[in-house]
């Protein structure tokens, strides 16, 4: 079979690799139906962080085989894999934070027993802890639903996490920093939770259009001090109640915390890859809270999947380019050069 | 009249100063019935920060005179002053965050028109924005209630803010970092909000006793790595749901964030005088939120005062020493040397 490997800065290859085999009793093998490239995949692609080997962590597919200890997931099931492995039975999973699963691991890394894990951008994938990791979609699954379902493996759940972490309630005023797929899904999530105003900060016309489709009531193109001033002016001169930070840079976090009104709350899901620190004094003096992290998207499937299935929730518009999985290198390039918001890949 | 001035490191003097006069239409003059020393007064006392002039910011008293624009507060009223001046009408006050009042100012600093303000440790005090700043206590006021009422000017409201910021709900597990008056009030606040377990981190017997009186179910004497390990062991191996940080040092914040379980929340009210920064990655990876700041204690009077008046809420036990106001220098020394938790001063 073939899978995607990263060999270095801007070096993505679709290569022949051995078919995966069941290694633990709780494993399943999944044949990928659709996968995609994540904004966070661009960090190693750009050489900001370093990675070598299998890559990708978002996919949906059909179960091909299961280990002897797998009880819930059946051969032939259509499944959504979150961007991590989790058992859904440990204390952290039960508390709603499966990204802190005590047995958890990451695609492309080592599983809990030290076996190397597959990456998500491949044809076949070995899934550890299959009964926890995989969410079964009741079939049959209409092909048109696939992009929407695929967002539940990361970006829609992550946008939802930003909104939940910021405490978005009906009637709240919300600002979203970041117009990537996660930022756009955060707009959709805030709107879904009943926000009265949702401001998308974006200067890209195509992304603004998706933001409006997802429920943005306002677009702000300014950034930095100008952006903060605009947001404060829009909301009583003091700022918004909730700000969703979906980038992960220090600039974006500063934009977010300073756009929140005194007593406001920032929900942040942008991976702080560059290790930003947050100064407490400016947060303390204005009582601005920050909350967020690696989104426990597996926990959110129960809430979001029914709405995707009945057509109320349609986050799939974040995919504005579809390519064969074999052209995965072109998908990375399109996202790197911001020619695409997010690329869907089909084997 | 006499008031307290700080002249430098460890140099507190009770000096004769001119009687205050009404300077703005919304001013009132209050004759102090009781004042006290705050843990944050010890920062300049110890020379960690620098201050020169009037000091003190917690008092209760009787209104002696009011300006022509004062409508709610009457001569003869018994009033509680929060540790700051606020109008209670601006957007931030109405949003519940009067410490961000658009017309606000601080005792001992300049008021909104640039007049110097009195400090709280004096015999008479000019109070700007009297109708907003002062909370009237329906009289007559029993002398035994005075210590309890005085805590509403800062420490009880601040402890409550730590608990509210951490999101304490009935049944939650709570850890309190810091055994000063605010930390002890945070124990009381968490207990009042229905926490099922409240752990006080303290190694001082007298403070442990107050913590237990205030509802602490457990005491942990260990600090640093040992303290974090103890807390995690106590709560499913992963930590507590809510942690209240009531110190303000980097060590205390680290203790707090690492004692929270994945998905947990830190409420912090310790003034970050030393300008600590918080690294995002450890918070992000465990989904630990931080929220808090300068406590809007004036907003909390409406909720807490009725319980003080009917005897259900008795935070006054944080005062374990009472001195004449004229011996204010001895009060600072007692707190600096940790011979007293908090000193009540009567003119």
Give the bridge partners for B79, in sequence order: B61, B136
B50 falls in which pLDDT band (50, 70, 90)? Answer: confident
Q: Over the stretch A322-339, which tens digit does the pLDDT of each residue have?
A: 999 999 999 999 999 999
Dmax (CA) of chain A: 61
Residue A271: predicted pLDDT: 78
Q: Say yes or no for a CB contact (<8 Å) between B284 and A276.
A: no
Q: Say yes or no for a CB contact (<8 Å) between A272 and B284.
A: yes
Q: What is the mean pLDDT of residues A129-144?
A: 96
Q: Is omega for the bond preceding B140 within 30 degrees of 0, making it cis?
A: yes
Q: What's domain A156-292's architecture?
A: 3-Layer(aba) Sandwich (3.40)
Residue A274: predicted pLDDT: 59
| C-alpha closest to that of B175 among B254, B294, B233, B260 | B260
Q: Which CATH superfamily is domain B2-154+296-346 in?
A: Medium-chain alcohol dehydrogenases, catalytic domain (3.90.180.10)
Q: What is the mean pLDDT of residues B312-330?
A: 98
User: Which of B240, B287, B294 to mutate to test binding with chain A, by most A CBs within 10 Å of its CB?
Assistant: B287
B274 falls in which pLDDT band (50, 70, 90)? Answer: low
Per-position DSSP letters for B186-253, written without gaps between them = HHHHHHHTT-SEEEEE---HHHHHHHHHTT-SEEE---HHHHHHHHHHHTTTT-EEEEEE-S-SHHHH
B275 falls in which pLDDT band (50, 70, 90)? Answer: low
Pairwise CA distance, residues B267 & A289, whole Å: 9
Two tokens, residue A14: 């679709």
The enclosing H or E element of B19 equals: none
Are A285 and B294 in contact by the 8 Å Cβ rule? The answer is yes
User: Which of A105, A158, A293 to mutate to test binding with chain B, by most B CBs within 10 Å of its CB?
Assistant: A293
Residues of B in contact with A290 (CB under 8 A): 283, 289-291
Position A272 pLDDT exceeds 80: no
A262–chain B nearest CA distance, Å: 7
Per-position DSSP letters for A176-215, written without gaps between them = EE--SHHHHHHHHHHHHTT-SEEEEE---HHHHHHHHHTT
DSSP three-state, residue B304:
helix
A222 falls in which pLDDT band (50, 70, 90)? Answer: very high
Q: Over the stretch A54-76, which tens digit does the pLDDT of each residue have?
A: 999 999 999 999 999 999 999 99
B272 falls in which pLDDT band (50, 70, 90)? Answer: confident
For A106, list phi and psi in degrees, rounded to 5. Answer: -120, 145
Please tell me the least confidently modeled range out of A47-51, A266-270, B107-111, B194-198. A47-51
Residues of B in contact with A95 (CB under 8 A): 238, 261-263
Position A273 pLDDT exceeds 70: no
The number of helix segments (H) and strand segments (E) in chain A equals 12, 17
Pairwise CA distance, residues B68 & A30, whole Å: 78
Two tokens, residue A149: 């379902």
Are A38 and A84 in contact by the 8 Å Cβ rule? The answer is no
Residue B271: predicted pLDDT: 78
Q: Over the stretch A93-131, which tens digit does the pLDDT of each residue have?
A: 999 999 999 999 999 999 999 999 999 999 999 999 999
Are A154 and A107 in contact by the 8 Å Cβ rule? The answer is no
Residue B51: predicted pLDDT: 84
- What share of chain B has pLDDT > 90, as a percent? 93
Instruction: Estimate the crossing angle of helix A155-165 against helix A181-192, to 10 degrees.
Output: 50
Residue that has been written with the tokens 């072109």 in this structure: A330
| C-alpha closest to that of A215 among A195, A239, A231 | A195
B273 falls in which pLDDT band (50, 70, 90)? Answer: low
Residues of A in contact with B291 (CB under 8 A): 265, 287, 289-291
The enclosing H or E element of A42 equals: helix A42-45
A132–chain B nearest CA distance, Å: 18
Pairwise CA distance, residues A270 & A280, whole Å: 19
Mean pLDDT score of chain B = 96
For A183, list phi and psi in degrees, rounded to 5. Answer: -60, -45
Residue A279: predicted pLDDT: 83
Residue B280: predicted pLDDT: 85
- SS3 string, B60-102, reads EEEEEEECCCCCCCCCCCEEEECCEECCCCCHHHHCCCHHHCC
Residue A84: predicted pLDDT: 98
Pairwise CA distance, residues B214 & B191, whole Å: 7
Which of A92, A99, A287 lies nearest to residue B100, judging by beta carbons? A287
Q: CATH code for B158-292?
A: 3.40.50.720
Residue A22: predicted pLDDT: 98
| C-alpha closest to that of A228 among A203, A194, A252 | A252
DSSP three-state, residue B106:
strand
Which of A100, A238, A272 lies nearest to residue B92, judging by beta carbons? A238
Q: What angle do CA B347, B28, B309 make, to 5 degrees?
A: 65
What is this model's ipTM?
0.96
Please tell me the least confidently modeled range out of A35-44, A274-283, B245-254. A274-283
Domain boundaries of chain A, sorted by first residue: 2-154+296-346, 156-292
Position B31 pLDDT exceeds 90: yes
Residue A48: predicted pLDDT: 86
DSSP three-state, residue A280:
helix
Two tokens, residue A309: 């299935």
Residue that has been written with the tokens 């942040």 in this structure: A268
B175–chain A nearest CA distance, Å: 18
Q: Over the stretch B207-259, which tens digit does the pLDDT of each residue have?
A: 999 999 999 999 999 999 999 999 999 999 999 999 999 998 889 999 999 99
| C-alpha closest to that of A34 among A341, A321, A334 | A321
Which of A165, A262, A280 lies nearest to residue B272, judging by beta carbons? A280
Which of A262, A278, A281 lies nearest to residue B92, judging by beta carbons? A262
Q: Say yes or no for a CB contact (<8 Å) between B100 and A289.
A: no
Position B9 pLDDT exceeds 80: yes
Q: Over the stretch B91-121, which tens digit does the pLDDT of each residue have?
A: 999 999 999 999 999 999 999 999 999 999 9
The residues on B that touch A, with CB distances below 8 Å, are 91-92, 95-97, 99-100, 165, 236-238, 253, 261-263, 265, 268, 271-272, 275-281, 283-294, 296
Residue B293: predicted pLDDT: 96
Q: What angle do CA A48, A50, A54 make, to 5 degrees?
A: 125
Please, which residues have CB within 8 angstroms of residue A306's CB and are 6 or more apart in sequence? none
User: Which of A101, A287, A292 to mutate to test binding with chain B, by most B CBs within 10 Å of its CB?
Assistant: A287
Pairwise CA distance, residues A240 & A91, whole Å: 35
For A18, list phi and psi in degrees, rounded to 5. Answer: -65, 145
Other CB atoms within a 10 A radius of the CB of residue A42 amount to 15
* Cβ pairs A/B, distance under 8 A: 126
Pairwise CA distance, residues B122 & B111, whole Å: 17
Position A275 pLDDT exceeds 70: no
Are B121 and B2 in contact by the 8 Å Cβ rule? The answer is no
Q: Over the stretch B157-215, which tens digit does the pLDDT of each residue have?
A: 999 999 999 999 999 999 999 999 999 999 999 999 999 999 999 999 999 999 999 99
Q: Over the stretch A12-21, which tens digit does the pLDDT of each residue have?
A: 999 999 999 9
The DSSP symbol for B318 reads G
Pseudo-torsion of CA B17, B22, B27, B31, nearest 10°?
50
Pairwise CA distance, residues B132 & B298, whole Å: 9
Are B255 and B227 in contact by the 8 Å Cβ rule? The answer is yes
């Amino acid at each position: 079979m073939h899978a995607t490997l990263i060999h270095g800065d801007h070096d993505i290859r679709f290569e022949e690799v051995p078919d995966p085999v069941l290694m633990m009793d709780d494993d399943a093998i999944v044949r990928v139906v659709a996968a995609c490239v994540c904004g966070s995949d661009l960090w190693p692609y750009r050489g900001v962080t370093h990675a070598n080997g299998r890559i990708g962590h978002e996919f949906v597919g059909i179960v091909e085989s299961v280990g002897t200890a797998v009880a819930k997931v059946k051969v032939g099931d259509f499944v959504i894999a979150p961007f991590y492995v989790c058992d859904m039975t440990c204390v952290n999973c039960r508390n709603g934070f499966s990204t802190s699963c005590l047995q958890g691991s990451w695609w492309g890394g080592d599983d809990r027993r030290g076996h190397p894990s597959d990456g998500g951008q491949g044809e076949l994938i070995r899934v550890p802890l299959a009964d926890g990791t995989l969410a079964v979609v009741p079939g049959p699954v209409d092909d048109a639903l696939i992009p929407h379902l695929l967002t539940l493996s990361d970006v829609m759940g992550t946008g939802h996490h930003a909104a939940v972490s910021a405490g978005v309630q009906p009637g709240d005023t919300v600002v979203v920093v970041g117009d990537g797929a996660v930022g756009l899904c955060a707009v959709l999530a805030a709107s879904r939770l009943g926000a009265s105003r949702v401001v998308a900060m974006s200067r890209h016309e195509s992304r603004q259009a998706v933001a409006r489709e997802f429920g943005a009531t306002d677009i702000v193109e300014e950034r930095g001090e100008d952006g903060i001033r605009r947001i404060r002016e829009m909301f009583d001169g003091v700022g918004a109640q909730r700000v969703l930070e979906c980038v992960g840079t220090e600039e974006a976090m500063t934009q977010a915390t300073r756009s929140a009104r005194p007593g406001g709350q920032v929900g942040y899901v942008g991976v702080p890859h560059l290790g930003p620190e947050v100064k407490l004094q400016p947060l303390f003096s204005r009582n601005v809270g920050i909350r967020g992290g690696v989104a426990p998207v597996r926990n959110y499937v129960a809430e979001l999947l029914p709405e995707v299935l009945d057509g109320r929730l349609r986050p799939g518009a974040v995919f504005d380019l579809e390519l064969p999985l074999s052209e995965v290198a072109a998908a990375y390039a399109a996202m790197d050069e911001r020619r695409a918001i997010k690329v869907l890949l089909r084997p």
